[in-house]
């Protein structure tokens, strides 16, 4: 795959992911402000909902996959679960250990998890 195609696909992945990320941030902010949960747990809940939103969009738009959804959905779910766990670890580290504001911690976490999940989904989930 050419570098241009990889860059285009990553831009699509990030753009499509912005919809799920918006969902994640809304849940994060609502849960933290209401005192329902810690930033780490709130972010993990938001990431879980965002992953559901992102599956269909990535399958159709980013990767234009013709693979059977019964094959790709479980793989995407495993990658999403890894992303949710990575989100929890990163948020705990940045927001608690380093005492970043939870929204700053979320921005850094989002960038890290975006790169990780893109690489894994490209190599495994949607590798036609």
Give the residue ranges of the chain where pLDDT is below 50. Answer: none
Supply the pLDDT for residue 18: 95
Tokens of 67: 């693979």
User: Which sign, positive or negative, has the C-alpha torsion 19, 118, 3, 60?
Assistant: negative
- Give start and end residues of each alpha helix (H) in 35-68: 39-57
Q: How much is the pLDDT for 54?
A: 94
Task: Give the integer Cα–Cα distance in Å for 65 and 51.
Answer: 17
Stretch (H or E) spanning 108? helix 102-120
For residue 1, what pLDDT is reported? 78
* pLDDT at site 10: 96
Q: What pLDDT does residue 52 have?
A: 92
Q: Model's pTM, two decimal places?
A: 0.90
Tokens of 19: 């919809």
> What sign for the dihedral angle of Cα 38, 120, 54, 100?
positive
Helix axes 69-91, 39-57, angle to 10 degrees: 160
User: Closest by alpha carbon to 95, among 113, 107, 83, 112?
Assistant: 107
Separation of alpha carbons 81 and 52, rounded Å: 11
């Amino acid at each position: 795959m050419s570098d241009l195609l990889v860059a285009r696909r990553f831009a699509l992945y990030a753009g499509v992911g912005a919809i799920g990320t918006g969902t994640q941030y809304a849940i994060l902010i609502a849960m933290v402000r209401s005192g329902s949960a810690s930033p780490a747990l709130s972010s993990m809940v938001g990431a879980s909902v965002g992953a559901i939103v992102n599956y269909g969009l990535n399958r159709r738009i980013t990767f234009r996959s013709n693979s059977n959804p019964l094959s790709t959905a479980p793989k995407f779910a495993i990658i999403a679960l890894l992303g949710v766990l990575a989100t929890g670890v990163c948020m705990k580290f940045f927001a608690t250990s380093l005492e970043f504001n939870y929204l700053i911690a979320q921005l850094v976490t989002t960038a890290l998890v975006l790169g990780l999940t893109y690489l894994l989904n490209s190599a495994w989930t949607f590798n036609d």
